[in-house]
Structure 1
Amino acid sequence: MNAPSDLSMKTDDVLRFELEVLRQEHRDLDEAIRAMQDLGTSDQLTIQRLKKKKLQLKDKIAIIDDRLTPDIIA
């Protein structure tokens, strides 16, 4: 088991901080991709890699968000 990435070992405060850092990184990547596309001279491979990284961040954000949001049985 990889302790640094194990969500069950982290407090909610730590997870909230990590969530905000990941969201900021996701926004930064979005801005970088948009800027590269607007220039029109950017490398498509680089854009693809940035988009893949952005999707990975989105998945991590969803996992942490699910961990922080309690299940409510109605």
Structure 2
Amino acid sequence: LFKEIKPQPTVDAHLADMLIPYVALADGNSTYLTRAITEHLDTNIWLAQKILGVKFEVSKTKNLYRIKKKGS
């Protein structure tokens, strides 16, 4: 638990992948931080981009990853 919360992510690695479908369907920009990029997260981003045509950016910021969806 300490390893998960010490870097102060917005969401943990498990919630990060579950948010992708909701973020993909939401209007406007969305951004959140997570500690790790899991295979589930990577797959969900890929699926959302292919099926819904949305664009996600994943970038490293210090010891966290920023997941960002641009527009709708």
TM above 0.5, yes or no, is: no
Higher strand share: 2
Q: Which has the larger radius of gyration?
A: 1
The structure that is helix-richer by fraction is 1
